Chains A and B, each alone.
Chain A
Amino acid sequence: MENAKIRIRGLYVRYSDGKEALRGVDLDILPHAVTVAFGPAGGGKSTLVKVINRLIDISDVAEIRGEVLLDGENVLIQDVNVVELRRRVGVVFSRPIPLPLTVFENVSYGLEVAGEKDKKVLADRVEKALRQAVLWDEVYDRLNNPAYSLSGGQQQRLCLARVLALEPEVILLDEPTSALDPVSTARIEEFLEKARRDYTILLVPHNQQQAARMADYAGFFLQGELIEYSRGEEMFLNPKEPRTRDYVAGRFG
């Protein structure tokens, strides 16, 4: 596909303990859409997320081969500015991990470390991000409270908001709702619905229903390989590969 935002070619990752997390993956992630990476545990989905924004750098990795091209530039080469990269490619983890700061400081952190000092700009961007993350109405009157005073669902939306504050191009979400109740999950999905045309989103869903609900495009990962990649409806209604069919039908996993 010509207009891919992220083009992955021959991506191979082996950890120091010998585990091959990804074994030669080719994948095009299109802009203005939600791409879902799903499959059973150990398929390499989380590793894929970590590679794209180079958080893999702090893992015990023995070998990485292949290319991850973001707008045509390989982010895996040594002299890529990872700080810059991580501002363009935000990530939301499976567990809400607020920083031990206030609600406001959590959202402004990324901007402040990027050098933004103007209080007015910070306040505006924080408000905008919190509104986008469907959280503003719940926290506008306690921005200076510790982030840990929020509920679990609110904390996860806070984690989303602090990514949005950086106005990223790509958002990676690694099972963002796995620790959340159904109502909070719905809030996150509500955001994804609204945001899918504005960002390039890679979602590792926490179950297949979510995968089917959210996917513009979907890739099925099994033991480090991309088995099948297609439009969302096609993947879940009419999968081509027998292994995908078995997994989608619930015969394993």
Chain B
Amino acid sequence: MNTPFELGRRKVLLNKHTVQTLGFWGIRLVSLVTVLPILGIVVYIIAKGASAINWGFLTQMPYDGMRAGGILPAIVGTFYLMVGTSLFSIPLGIAAGIYLAEYAPETIWTRMIHIAIISLAGVPSVVYGLFGLGLFVLFFQFGISILSASLTLSIMTLPVIISTTEESLRSIPYSFRVVGLSLGGTQWQGIRKIILPQALPGILTGIILGLERAVGETAPILFTGATFFLPRLPHSPMDATMALPYHIFVISTQVPGMPIEIQYGTVMVLMVFVLGMNLVASLIRSRVRAKRQW
């Protein structure tokens, strides 16, 4: 009976624990592999770009055909675009999310809205860019401007904000709404005083993730608000502006003799911008999870 096969099987059976340990390590290894590329990118960019970062780089205008000086207009432009996008997409997105989660009846109409939102989230960013060009730049005659670009980015950000708002609201127990009504409150009072404060951290996370995507995009602003080079900072929402992602595209493909560390330095600034926002979102989320008691 003691064939090698039998022996082998018994051996495996005896070492169930070892098998499990091996399995766990395998899974750990695989998850590590998924993180490695991101980690690699971050380390590579910091290694190549950190030498370019100094106070002057962040606060000066570029000169010598952008081959020297700083990237202030691109940073300021990205900041303006973020503010503009927030202005439109946050109130609209939250209002739509509240409507869908709390008020909208279950009809074909609302189901269509849901499908539209999901589809919007899947539209390639360049399509948003062309849409913005057609609607805001040409039809509404806003021109190539911060306003047009912000509106375009808002449309892109909206689905994220709407669906995270809706989901955060839906995750709050229904019983709170019933209690609010039973104490003589209106539905809106219940939403404002009980439900929204509980859902706010989730909503905030959605806003940050949505804006973060908007800040990093090139295609939507390409035709609507970004400009190759501006010798001054934008004065009004009707001005075109430089922006970090487009600036990166420009200095890495359009300008001959571009110093490599300026390219990587610019990328690093954008990356810190985006990762920073991500970190804030994660922090909010984990803090709230720890605090929640129901």
Give the interface of A toward B (CB within 8 A).
53, 55, 58, 83-84, 86-87, 90-91, 93, 95, 97, 99-101, 109-110, 112-114, 146, 148-149, 159, 162-163, 166
Which residue of B176, B177, B181, B294 contacts A86 across the interface (Cβ within 8 Å)? B181
A39 to B289, CA, bound (A): 42
Q: Could you say which residues of chain A place their CB within 8 Å of the CB of B179?
A: 93, 97, 99, 159
How far, in Å, is B148 (CB) from chain A's closest CB? 42
Please provide the chain B residues from 148 to 191 with a CB less than 8 Å away from any CB of chain A in the complex: 175-186, 189
Q: Is the CB of B184 within 8 A of A83?
A: yes
Q: Is the CB of A58 within 8 A of B175?
A: no
The dominant DSSP class at the A interface is helix
Which residue of B175, B178, B189 contacts A113 across the interface (Cβ within 8 Å)? B189
A93-B182, A110-B184, A146-B293 known; 8 other A-B pairs, CB under 8 Å? A86-B184, A91-B182, A93-B175, A99-B194, A113-B183, A113-B185, A149-B293, A166-B184
| Interface CB pairs A-B, < 8 A, 20 | A53-B182, A55-B181, A55-B182, A58-B177, A58-B178, A83-B185, A83-B186, A86-B184, A90-B182, A90-B183, A93-B178, A93-B179, A93-B182, A100-B198, A100-B293, A109-B185, A113-B180, A113-B189, A113-B193, A149-B293
Smallest CB gap from B184: residue in A: A87
How far, in Å, is A152 (CB) from chain B's closest CB? 13
Q: Is the CB of B178 within 8 A of A163?
A: no
How far, in Å, is B238 (CB) from chain A's closest CB? 44
How far, in Å, is B140 (CB) from chain A's closest CB? 42
A166 to B183, CA, bound (A): 8
Smallest CB gap from A53: residue in B: B182
Smallest CB gap from B192: residue in A: A113
- Counted as pairs of residues, one from A and one from B, with CB atoms less than 8 Å apart, the total is 65
Q: Is the CB of B194 within 8 A of A163?
A: no
A148 to B198, CA, bound (A): 14
How far, in Å, is A102 (CB) from chain B's closest CB? 12
How far, in Å, is A64 (CB) from chain B's closest CB? 17
A83 to B188, CA, bound (A): 12
A90 to B182, CA, bound (A): 7
Most buried by B among A99, A114, A149: A99
Q: Is the CB of B183 within 8 A of A163?
A: yes
Given contacts A109-B193, A113-B189, A148-B293, whether A97 and B184 have CB atoms under 8 Å apart is: no
Given contacts A109-B193, A146-B293, A148-B294, whether A97 and B185 have CB atoms under 8 Å apart is: no
Q: Is the CB of B184 within 8 A of A113?
A: yes
Smallest CB gap from B190: residue in A: A113
Given contacts A100-B194, A101-B194, A109-B193, whether A86 and B183 have CB atoms under 8 Å apart is: yes
Q: Is the CB of B183 within 8 A of A97?
A: no
A55 to B175, CA, bound (A): 12
Given contacts A99-B194, A101-B194, whether A58 and B181 have CB atoms under 8 Å apart is: yes
Given contacts A99-B194, A100-B176, A109-B193, whether A114 and B184 have CB atoms under 8 Å apart is: yes
A101 to B184, CA, bound (A): 17
Smallest CB gap from A162: residue in B: B183
Smallest CB gap from B197: residue in A: A100
* Chain B 104-145: CB-based contact to A (< 8 A → 1; otherwise 0): 000000000000000000000000000000000000000000
How far, in Å, is A138 (CB) from chain B's closest CB? 19
Q: Could you say which residues of chain B place their CB within 8 Å of the CB of A149?
A: 293
Q: Could you say which residues of chain B place their CB within 8 Å of the CB of A53?
A: 182
